[in-house]
Structure formats: structure tokens, C-alpha cells
Amino acid sequence: MGLGTALSTAISGLNINQAGLQLVSRNVSNAGTPGYTRKTLTQENIAVGGGGFGVRQNTITRDVNEFLQQQLHTELGINGSRQILSQFLDRLDLIYGQPGSDTALDTAVNRLSGALQDLATSPESDTARNAVKLGAEQLVSKLNQLSENIQTLRRDAESGISHSVNEANELLQSIAALNTSVQESYGTLTGSADTEDQRDQLINRLSELIDISVSKGDRGSVRVYTSNGDLLVDGVASRLTFDEHGNIGPQSLYSPTDAERGVGTIKIVAANGSTSDLIRGRSNFGGTIGGYLTLRDDILVEAQTQLDELAHGLALSFSDYTNTGTAVSSGAQDGFDLDVTGLLAGNQITINYTEGGTSKTVTFVRVDDATTLPLSDDVTPNPNDSVVGIDFSGGLAGAAASMSTALGAAISVANTAGNTIRFLDDGAAATVDISDVNARITATALSDKGTQLPLFQDAAGKAYSGALDGADQKLGFASRITLNGSVAADSSWLVNYSTSPATGASDATRPIELVKRLTEQSFDFDPATGIGSANAPYKGSVDEFARRIIASQTGRSEMAAQSKSAQEIVVGALQKRISSESGVNIDEEMANLIELQNAYTSSARVITAIKEMTEMLMRM
């Protein structure tokens, strides 16, 4: 090897060490830069004809743990969802108020209960009567306002989805553009490591919005998918669309059928123009968007269901009464005659009987629109009954015939006279024994029908009976419930339950009955409220159910806050671990700096020696 070759080799060493020093400087300068990963200079020996002729720079790389990155994407998605859930549930908890506070829902129920108890003590008092009327009006107003507040939260969630989808589209476009930049600079002297850092930051942000998975592509590029396998980025970016609905009410629910859907859905438009619904068929979306969807379609819908169930219980607890069948016989057959006068759509007829040693309960629900049929068993909270919808639009005789068909040959049902339906067993065959039959009927009259009182009504003075025709009357009832207009105009109806003979001014019969119906009468509440379960529905009085609603919402808010805090710890720990593996360690950089300084000095000394030797040769 001549001096020229030695000089060239030494200069290459000098250059590579200089590049290394520059890289150390970059690493140290960016030690605190979010998302920056430690860069490493790769080099290779210059070999020609089997001999070494120095060293040259290959490219700049980074060392990243891909498993930890993917884990971070997952945890960021969970964190994004929990942040949104906690934020909205805090707002919901504030709307309901602290249990027992002046603005709380249970306080409004308690005020009505207290006013009724005062009225039972002083039924002749105009002050006591007006206090009950005021308490009922305040409770109605509270239910109406809470319902509107919940729908406002749902509209905010809808808007949040729209903003998040727009941001996701911007991120997808940027990730696709950076993919192209990475491929163009892949393997060059400068490398693509810095661009990959930028891309990772965008992917991390995307993972906060929606559950994703990432896989390697060619020449340093990546492919991004939803956790369900829908391709988001591969060369070019797919586009997400969201048809935001501005007008959202209790009836505005998600449906996989576009014609029935009352809220927006997210669709993905692929590069080839094909479209698919990202929400349809998915139970968990993840990320901020998933949090908004869970709120809009599950948690806040359940909150509305709780209010509707409370309004439903309030209305029916005061207005409904039970007609019990009268025992009858016809030859060898035994059974009951049931008076169904006043039976409204949504009212129920229940028959309990034993067949072949097995106890059975069938609940017939009146409908006046055959298109509503068939009904599901979950129309009633009772887990042990079979629900059958009966169309009454053709008259009582036809309705009785439908009941007979539903019960089978062993039980006969017929409209014997007027509004009476007769239920008979199979007589001598003795395979069936009917134990009782009853009808739960909603009163619409203010007097002369008993001590019950239709204190609450649906909008426009319509009787509330839980009708199912067209749409479930209970859905959104909390937003429509009103005080009976006749009671609002004349509070004496709170006491007067009979015109002949006339109720005495100091007769406490009706007020006492109303107190019992609110605070003592037990109901099975719909498990769709999230209180109780399908197999063990919550059973209690209306005022107890109101307290359970408050406790349920408070507990959910506290759990959401705890889950958010716990997830923040998980994300923080994971980010710290990634930083320790892929980030800049100042001590390591300083040690590397010393090595580079020594190497640089050594290369310089070689060059100096070659220079001296060359000068010596020139003097010879």
C-alpha cells in the first residue's frame, strides 16, 4: 500500500468520524424532543480487489422496538376512549346532581312524596294541595330538562365523532405522504430515520383516535389497518366519511339499516372507490371515536332509558289499577271472567296456570296495530312470563280468539258478553289448572273509578299507557311527560275521587293511596336501564328506583375516572420504557463522543505522519 492509499484511507476515517460527531451532536440536541429516537451511523469497509481501502458511510438508522410500538398504539387507543368517557360522565354526573342536593333528581321525587304526605295529613288544605301540584310540576320539569341534557350530550358526542374523523383523514394523508418520503430516502446516506420519527408521531396520534394495527411494507414504508382489518394506508390513504346528524332526540338511535338510522355512521372509502361501514357489526371501536360511539349509542341511551323508565313508573304507579278475574264454572270447566273495560293499548292481561305440573305465566299486551306484532318477551321485565301481543283493532271477540289460539287447545278464551273475557280450563281432561287471571288497566277518568289518579300524561294531554303501536310510547317519555292538565287547573282532584257520593273535603283516602303508590308499591323495572338484570330485574318502589338511578350514575362516573387514571399510568410507563430503549441516553452519547474524538485524533495523526513522510521523500 502506497502513501497515497494510506492518505485516502485516513481521510475516509476522518470523514466518518466527523459524520459520527455530527450525529452525536444531533442526538444530544434532541434528547428532550418528543418522539425523537436515537440515530446510529452505519459504516462499511471499502474493499477493492480483496484489499481494504478505507471506510465509508452507509446510512443513518434508528433502533425501535416494534412490539412496544404496537403495544403503545393499543394502550393509546384505550386511553383515548377512557379520556372521553370520563369527561362526558363527569358532565352527566353534574347534570344529575349530588344525591340529596337541591338540584338532584331524587330530591325532586322526595319533594313530591313529602308534599303528598302533608296532603294526607291535611287534605282540606289548599296550601297542601298546591304544594303537591308544584312538586309534580317540578318533577316533570326536572325529567324534561334531564332528558334534553342527555340528548345534548349525545349531540356533542356526534359532533366529536365528526371532528375526530376529520382529524383522522388529515393524519392518514400525512402518513401516506411520509411513507413516500421514507421510500425515496430509504438506504441513502442521510437515511429516512427522521422521517420515520415524524410518521410514528402521526401514527401514535391516529391510534388515540381509532384502534389500529401497523405492519411493515417495502423500503421502510408501513401499512395501517383498523383493528378489524380494514386497510387505511398502503401507498395511498383511504378516506373516512361521517354523515353527522344535527338533530338528535331520544328516538334517534343507531341502526345498521341506513333507512332506520337516526345518527351518523362512519364509512371507509378505499382507493378503488369501494365503500364499507366501519361501525356495522362491531361491538368495540376503540380510541376517542370509540369513546364517542359508546357514549352516543350505549351509555347515554341507557341514561335516557333510565329516565324514561322512571317517568313510565311514575305515570303508571298513580294511574293504573288491577282488575282481578271472578271465578266461574261451565260444566266440568273452571276458570275466570275478566272485565277489561277501559283496557288501553299497552295494558296487559296476565294468566297464571299449571300445565302438566309446570307453572306458566302468559302476559297478553294490547296493540291496535297488527304491524307491531309479534312482540318480544322483554316487553315486560318479568323473566318468567311469555309475552304475546294481541291485536284489538278487530274487536274484543277477535282478540279473545287470538288469546285462545296462543294458549292452545287446553284453555278456551271467549268474549262472553260486553267487555268480559272468559278463560276456562279443559275440564274433565284435567291437564290444565288456571290459578288466576288479571288485567292491569290505565285509568283516564279523574273520579268515580277508584282512588287511582292519572296525575301524569304524555304530550298534548294524551293518556300514557306504555303503548307499543307505531313506536314504543315509553321511548323518550321523560322528555314529554306532563302534569295532567285537569289537575293543574283544579288541584281538588288530588282529593276528590268520587262525585256520587261526593268526596268530603277532609277525606284523605286518595292522598294516602297516592303516597303508597309512590313509596310502597313495588314494580319490576326494565333491565335495559342497567339496573338489575334480565334474570333478576330490579324490584322496588318508584322513589327507590329514582335513588338507584342517581347512585348508578355517580358510581359509573367514579369508575370512569379511576379507569382513566389507571390507563394514564399504563401509557406513561410504556412511553418511559420505549424512551429508555429508543431514546437518547446522554451518558452513552458522551461515551461515544470520547471514542469518536479519539478516533478522529488518530486519523489526524495518521494524516500528519503521511504528510511528514511525503515531505521527507520530496527532500531526497
Let me know: does 399 contact 390? Beta carbons within 8 Å.
Answer: yes
Least confident of 212-221, 448-457, 560-569: 212-221
Q: Which long-range contacts (CB under 8 A, 24 or more apart) does 219-223 make?
A: 219/182, 219/183, 219/186, 219/187, 220/182, 220/183, 220/186, 220/192, 220/196, 221/179, 221/182, 221/183, 222/175, 222/179
| CA distances (Å), origin 495, targets 422, 444, 538 | 35, 16, 31
Report the distance separating Cα 135 and Cα 327, nearest Å. Answer: 42
Cell numbers that stand for 141 in this block: 320539569
**Is residue 40 scored above 90 in pLDDT?**
no
pLDDT digits (tens, 9 = 90+) for 191-242: 788 899 999 999 999 999 999 999 999 988 999 999 889 999 998 999 999 9
Report the distance separating Cα 563 and Cα 524, nearest Å. Answer: 32
Q: What is the mean pLDDT of the chain?
A: 92
Report the distance separating Cα 520 and Cα 512, nearest Å. Answer: 11
**Is residue 51 scored above 60 in pLDDT?**
no
Let me know: does 33 contact 43? Beta carbons within 8 Å.
Answer: no
Q: What pLDDT band is residue 394 in, cutting at 50, 70 and 90?
A: very high
SS3 372: helix
Q: What pLDDT band is residue 283 in, cutting at 50, 70 and 90?
A: low
Q: What is the pLDDT of residue 60?
A: 80
Q: What pLDDT band is residue 49 in, cutting at 50, 70 and 90?
A: low
**Is residue 281 scored above 90 in pLDDT?**
no
Radius of gyration of the chain (CA): 38
Q: What pLDDT band is residue 617 in, cutting at 50, 70 and 90?
A: confident
Let me know: does 55 contact 16? Beta carbons within 8 Å.
Answer: yes
Least confident of 50-54, 334-338, 420-424, 499-503: 50-54
Q: Which DSSP state fits 569?
A: H
pLDDT digits (tens, 9 = 90+) for 147-205: 999 999 999 999 999 999 999 999 999 999 999 999 998 877 777 888 999 999 999 99
Q: At what angle do helices 66-96 and 193-209 cross, to 10 degrees?
A: 30
Q: What is the pLDDT of residue 57?
A: 65
Q: How many CB atoms lie within 10 A of CB 100?
A: 11
Q: What is the pLDDT of residue 45?
A: 62
- H or E element, residue 166: helix 126-185
This prediction's pTM: 0.90
pLDDT digits (tens, 9 = 90+) for 250-265: 999 999 999 999 999 9
| CA distances (Å), origin 84, targets 90, 103, 295, 302, 551 | 10, 25, 9, 17, 21
Q: What pLDDT band is residue 61 in, cutting at 50, 70 and 90?
A: confident
Let me know: does 599 contact 17? Beta carbons within 8 Å.
Answer: yes
Q: What is the pLDDT of residue 4?
A: 62
Report the distance separating Cα 459 and Cα 446, nearest Å. Answer: 18
| CA distances (Å), origin 213, targets 210, 421, 527, 582 | 10, 64, 36, 20
For residue 16, the one-letter residue type is: I
Report the distance separating Cα 44 and Cα 48, nearest Å. Answer: 13
- What is the number of residues in the chain? 620
**Is residue 272 scored above 60 in pLDDT?**
yes
Let me know: does 455 contact 135? Beta carbons within 8 Å.
Answer: no
CA dihedral 241, 81, 153, 556 (to 10 degrees): 150
